[in-house]
Amino acid sequence: MFSYRRVKNDQRDAADLADLLRMGRLPEAWIAPPATRELCGWVRHRAKLVGLRSNLKCQVHAVLAGAGVAVPMSDLFGPSGQRLLGSARLSLESRSRVDSLLGLITALDVEIDTFATLVAGRLRADPGYRAIQAFPGVGPTLAAVFVAEVGEISRFARPGQLASWAGLTPIHHESDTRVRRGRITKQGSRLVRWAAVEAVQRVPGHTRLGQRRDRVAERRGRSIGVVAAARDLVTLVFYGLRDHHLRCLAAPAA
């Protein structure tokens, strides 16, 4: 609107901004306080370290696959997997790469545990942090992501706004009587969206969230079912952070 005006100066700009403010249409930006920014920095740094560790683990699997070593266990880096890595017959080049990668993974484990301890110490007395850990699939790590990324829950008037901010609501196009909904927007915090999806994929099928996920998945596919359950979880997180107690966790009666 401003760019197409024939006359543009500070006086006109101020008048237009005042009109938008009077009508409640002036968008506002929320700036997190220093303590929240510090917590968010710790959480994001830990998430990046976990991503680096996952990449290194994939490289170990790639080296073993290239050397023709079968991996029968689900966790290569557990006790049985460590025995396999130590006894596997590898060439000098492959063995040096595996040893180097394992050393980097060990170093990252220490750093990840350090930042997890920092975050847990900061949130130990937070009632919302303790409340949302009772939700299925939400442990200390995912709860810390929700608390750090959301910040002050009072800036959202209703749970739908939080779900929209997290990018879990579908794109909506409407013209006259024609309405078309597309994929989710994927706007807002990528970590909150990841945490919600990660949590609902691990919940048992007999829970409310699990039933919601499986019911939608039967009709529209697994991915859409997971997103629908993640949106419901974000709603529960909204009330957990706001009211500090649980809501609607029991599965509906048959």
Please state the domain extents for the chain.
33-124, 126-254
State how far the Cα of 192 lies from the Cα of 163, in Å rounded to an integer: 10
For residue 233, what is the DSSP state?
Answer: H
Residue 195: Cβ within 10 Å count: 27
Return the pLDDT at 160: 92
Return the pLDDT at 1: 60
- Give the residue from 133, 125, 122, 110 showing the smallest Cα distance to 41: 122
Q: What are residue 20's phi and psi, to 5 degrees?
A: -60, -40
* Burial of residue 137, with CB atoms counted within 10 A of its CB: 0-12 exposed, 13-18 middle, 19 or more buried: buried
Calculate the CA dihedral of residues 181, 187, 192, 195 and round it to 10 degrees.
50
The CA-to-CA distance between both ends of the chain, in Å, stands at 55
Helix then strand count (H, E) for the chain reads: 10, 2
State how far the Cα of 116 lies from the Cα of 126, in Å rounded to an integer: 15
Q: Which tokens in the block code for residue 214?
A: 């499986």
State how far the Cα of 218 lies from the Cα of 220, in Å rounded to an integer: 6
Return the pLDDT at 235: 93
Tell me the CA distances in angstroms from 219 to 71, 183, 215, 224, 225, one per residue in order: 36, 16, 7, 9, 9
State how far the Cα of 215 lies from the Cα of 46, in Å rounded to an integer: 34
Global pTM? 0.84
Return the pLDDT at 252: 55
- Residue ranges for the chain with pLDDT beneath 50: none
Give me the residue label for tokens 């649980």.
246
